Amino acid sequence: MNSSDTDNNCCGRSYSVTVAVVLACLVFVGLVWKMRQYAPVEPLGAERGAERAKALHEIRAVEADALNNVGWVDQTKGLVRLPIEDAKALALRAWQNPAQARADLLARVEKANAKPPEKPSEFE
């Protein structure tokens, strides 16, 4: 036997192995493609995304209402919520006299942050 015969046989064998590997890869890709068509997968968290989008829409609607409409913050303390433009106009009018405006502001802060009287301890 010649050495050239063994070289041709080795090259033929490696060629057929290469062709078999390429064909196996193509079959695998084809099967994956067909499975994706047969059983489409919904993106993970799609229902959670829809729920979060709905919650965001509701939050923005509540925020828009709070920014543009009058309402009570704490009715027992007499705290109200004003629209932004009304609050700006009121602040401009109040701060014409800075000393009086500062005193009013400090009084309102004290009123808003006032704690209810504590109950006396039963052990006293």
74, β-bridge pairs: 79
Please give the DSSP secondary-structure letter assigned to residue 39.
S
**Confidence (pLDDT) at 6:** 54
CA distance 93 to 81: 18
pLDDT tens sequence across 3-15: 555 555 666 788 8
Instruction: Give the 3-state secondary structure percentages of the chain, helix then strand then coil, rounded to 5.
Output: 70, 5, 25
Q: What is the pTM of this model?
A: 0.41
